[in-house]
Every structure is written in C-alpha cells, then in structure tokens.
C-alpha cells in the first residue's frame, strides 16, 4: 500500500470546494489506489460548514480517505502539504474596483505563499483556482523564494475543457477525438483558445478556422465568456465543472499526460513564446508526472500572436496594479 498524500484545500466550504472534496477523497484526482490526508482550510466564519462537510466525508466511508482535518490557520493547514489547492479567495463585492480586488487577494496570496515556503513538503505542488488566479499564483510564488517556480500553477484547465467541448460539437466528433487545443494567457475574458494546432477527428483546426466568422464571433467568445453564461443561466458561478478542471489539472501534473499530447495550464513563464519571464501565463504543457514542461516550437500565426499579446498585456497590467499598491 502507498503512503498517503497530504492534500490541503482552501475555501473548502465554498461551492467549488464542496464539488471537489468528495471526488478527491474518492481517488478521482491522485488514483483509486492512493490514500489521501485531507486538510480543509477555511475562514473562521465557515468552520461550521467545514465541520459538516467533514461529517459527510466520514459518511462516505471512502477506502482511500486516511484522515480529514479542519483548520483556520494556514500554517497548520499547510504543514507538510504535498498538493495545495488554493481555491478560497476574496470575492468581488458591490462597488469594489478591480484594483481593490487585486490588492485584497494579493495580500492573501502573499501570506499563503510565504507560509507555504516555510512549512510545505519538499515535493509540494500548488494549484491556484481563486481569482484573479494567474496573478494570485504569481504573488504566491514571489513570496516563496525557497519553492522552485515550477511548483506553482493556476487553473486554465476548465477553459481548456470548455474549448474541447465546443470543438467536439462543431466537428461532430466525440471529445476523445479532439487534441492539440491550447489556452493562452490569463484566466479571464482576454484568454485565447488557440485551435490552429487542433485535430478534431478527420478535421484540422486550420480547416475549422477557415470559417473566421465562426472562430471570431462564436467559438472564441463562447469559450472566453462561458463563466458569465453559466452565471446567467444557473444564477451561480461554475462549481462542478471548475472542480472537475482542478482534478484533471492535478491528475495530469501528478500522474503525467498521455503520449505526446498536451493540455493547458498557467505556469511561471521562463520567457518563451514572447511571454515575459515571471508572469503566470497559460501555455500548452505536458507533464512526466513531476513537472509541467511547455510544449515548444508551435508556430504562432499573426491571428494568434495578436490575441496572445493582448492577454499577456492584461497580465502585466495586473502585476503592475498590485506593485503600485
Ligand atoms: P465561494 O464563495 O462559494 O467559496 C469560497 C470559499 O473560500 C468560502 O467558503 C470562503 O469562506 C473561503 N475563503 C475565502 N478566503 C479564504 C482564505 N483566505 N482562506 C481560506 N478560505 C477562504 O466561491 P467558489 O465558487 O467556490 O469559487 C472560489 C474561487 O474560484 C473564486 O475566486 C472564483 O472566482 C474562482 N474560480 C476560478 C475558476 C478558474 O477556472 N480558475 C473557475 C471557477 C471560479 O470562478
């Protein structure tokens, strides 16, 4: 039997946390033969709700769930953590400017990054889901100089999966026939879902892209604004699909991506594809089960270049806004 992996979930009593925890505990993330120690980190006001979730986790009698613990202190919750899922963040409230949201979360993620640097396990992997996810991850990484940059990531897998679903529908093929999708840039409305390297069954992305009206007015905005469409329809933001994306992301990172295919994740830029070093930007990535590796050498046409540059400019503006405060 394997040694348990310690997984800490922040914002554990939120809607994404609730959707993620049971699947993580059931082995959907790290494998059905991999025991997990679950640590739930919440704000003091949500500790009661976290207690209730812990009771429900008990009531599943899951064979691989080695323990469940609840914390409101990040230092205790992150002590020895191997997989940190940073889902909790300050939401944007009425009258709040974007700069206020950035600075409120910068403070939270600076503190969490610092604490992770002090107490996390040597093999820690960190996945930021809480928004603004890319910049929150960049801030956390900056405050944890002893953790290698490659251990920080932000979630764009939900966007990636949304793009796959839209392409499968367009090409009339199963989702399993879609490969070569890339989400570039920020997890925001400026993100760029790139189909120029896609295979969709018998069709190429190039062929699909010859219908520019579909690409520009339908596909790209449908993927980039899907979060708003879900809120409009459901009256609440994406939760189960966001949890699913988080689980896919960690699974591919920890267990490896299949063959020579790739997925999308936001990681600290080493200065490739024209993305300045240090920004946490979404790239085409694969994993050998230890680190994300950027898929290099993809040709970027002018159409893609302009859109990647626009999203990267937004990432630079976010970091600049945080630095100014
Ligand atoms: P909820 O408001 O339902 O839950 C957030 C939870 O986090 C709350 O229970 C709150 O008490 C807790 N929390 C807040 N600050 C905390 C802190 N410093 N430490 C520990 N816990 C803290 O939000 P939910 O719908 O679960 O969304 C969570 C985050 O995911 C939001 O920031 C949201 O914007 C972001 N999303 C990111 C996505 C992505 O693809 N990267 C997609 C979905 C989602 O929009």
- Together in a domain, 212 and 268: yes
pLDDT in tens, 251-308: 999 999 998 899 999 999 999 999 999 999 999 999 999 999 999 999 999 999 999 9
98 pLDDT more than 80: no
The predicted pLDDT at position 95 comes to 77
Catalytic one among 37, 160, 187, 197? 187
165 and 122 in a common domain: no
Backbone angles phi, psi at 94, to 5 degrees: -55, 135
**In the annotation, is 37 catalytic?**
no
pLDDT, tens digit, 9 for 90 and up, residues 213-242: 999 999 999 999 999 999 999 999 999 999
Q: Based on the fold, state whether residues 94 and 222 are members of the same structural domain.
A: no
Q: Which residues contact 159 (CB under 8 A, 6 or more apart)?
A: 183, 187, 191, 193, 223, 224, 226, 245, 264, 282
Same domain, 150 and 215: no
CA distances (Å), 217 to each of 59, 163, 180, 189, 310, in order? Answer: 47, 14, 21, 14, 17
Q: Which of 124, 154, 184 is the last residue of a domain?
A: 154
CATH at 309:
3.90.110.10
Q: Are residues 86 and 202 in the same domain?
A: no
Mark whether 110 and 197 lie in a shared domain: no
**Residues 22, 166: one domain?**
no
| Number of domains the chain is built from | 2
Beta-strand ranges (E) seen in 24-181 are 36-41, 65-71, 83-86, 125-128, 152-154, 178-179
Q: 154 CA distance to ligand 1 centroid (A)?
A: 13
d(CA 78, CA 87): 14
* Whether 25 and 66 share a structural domain: yes
Could you identify the atom of ligand 1 that is nearest to the CA of residue 105? 18
pLDDT tens column, 121-162? 999 999 999 999 999 999 999 999 999 999 999 999 999 999
Asked if 199 and 250 sit in the same domain, the reply is: yes
The residue out of 137, 154, 171 marking a domain boundary is 154
Q: Would you say 275 is a known binding-site residue?
A: no
The burial class, CB within 10 Å (0-12 / 13-18 / 19+), for 122 is exposed
Domain's final residue, options 98, 123, 154: 154
Decide: 40 in ligand 1 pocket, CB within 6 A: no
Cα 11 to ligand 1 centroid, rounded to whole Å: 6
My answer on whether 146 and 169 are in the same domain is no
Counting ligand 1 atoms within 8 A of each CB, the residue from 10, 42, 86, 88 with the most, and so the one to mutate, is 88
Provide the residue range defining the domain that includes 62. 5-154
ipTM greater than 0.90, yes or no?
yes
Question: How confident is the model over 152-202, as pLDDT tens digits?
Answer: 999 999 999 999 999 999 999 999 999 999 999 999 999 999 999 999 999
pLDDT interval class at 100 (50, 70, 90): confident
DSSP state of 150: G
Do both 25 and 150 map to the same domain? yes
Nearest ligand 1 atom, CA 11 = 7
Q: Are residues 206 and 296 in the same domain?
A: yes
Task: Give dist(CA 203, CA 201) in Å, integer.
Answer: 6
């Amino acid at each position: 039997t394997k040694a348990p992996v310690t997984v800490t979930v922040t914002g554990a009593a939120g809607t994404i946390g609730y959707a993620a925890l049971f699947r993580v505990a059931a082995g959907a993330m790290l494998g059905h033969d991999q025991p997990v120690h679950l640590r739930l980190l919440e704000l003091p006001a949500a500790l009661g709700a976290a207690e209730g979730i812990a009771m429900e986790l008990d009531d599943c009698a899951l064979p691989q769930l080695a323990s469940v613990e609840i914390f409101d202190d990040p230092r205790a919750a992150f002590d020895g953590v191997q997989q940190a899922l940073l889902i909790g963040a300050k939401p944007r409230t009425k009258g709040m400017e974007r700069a206020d949201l950035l600075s409120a979360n910068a403070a939270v993620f600076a503190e969490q990054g610092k604490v992770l640097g002090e107490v996390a396990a040597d093999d820690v992997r960190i996945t930021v889901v809480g928004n603004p996810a890319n910049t929150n991850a960049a801030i956390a990484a900056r405050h944890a100089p002893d953790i290698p940059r490659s251990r920080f990531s932000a979630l764009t897998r939900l966007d990636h999966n949304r793009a796959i679903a839209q392409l499968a529908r367009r090409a009339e093929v199963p989702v399993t026939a879609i490969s070569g999708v890339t989400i570039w840039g920020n997890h925001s409305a400026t993100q760029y879902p790139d189909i120029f390297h896609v295979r969709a069954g018998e069709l190429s992305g190039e062929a699909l892209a010859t219908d520019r009206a579909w690409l520009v007015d339908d596909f790209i905005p449908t993927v980039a604004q899907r979060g708003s469409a879900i809120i409009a329809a459901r009256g609440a933001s994406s939760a189960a699909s966001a949890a699913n994306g988080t689980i896919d992301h960690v699974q591919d990172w920890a267990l490896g991506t299949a063959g020579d295919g790739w997925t999308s994740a936001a990681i600290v830029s080493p200065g490739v594809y024209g993305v300045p070093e240090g920004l946490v930007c979404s790239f085409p990535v694969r994993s050998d089960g230890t680190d994300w590796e950027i898929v290099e050498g993809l040709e970027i046409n002018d159409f893609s270049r302009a859109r990647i540059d626009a999203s990267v400019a937004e990432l630079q503006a976010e970091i600049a806004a945080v630095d100014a405060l």
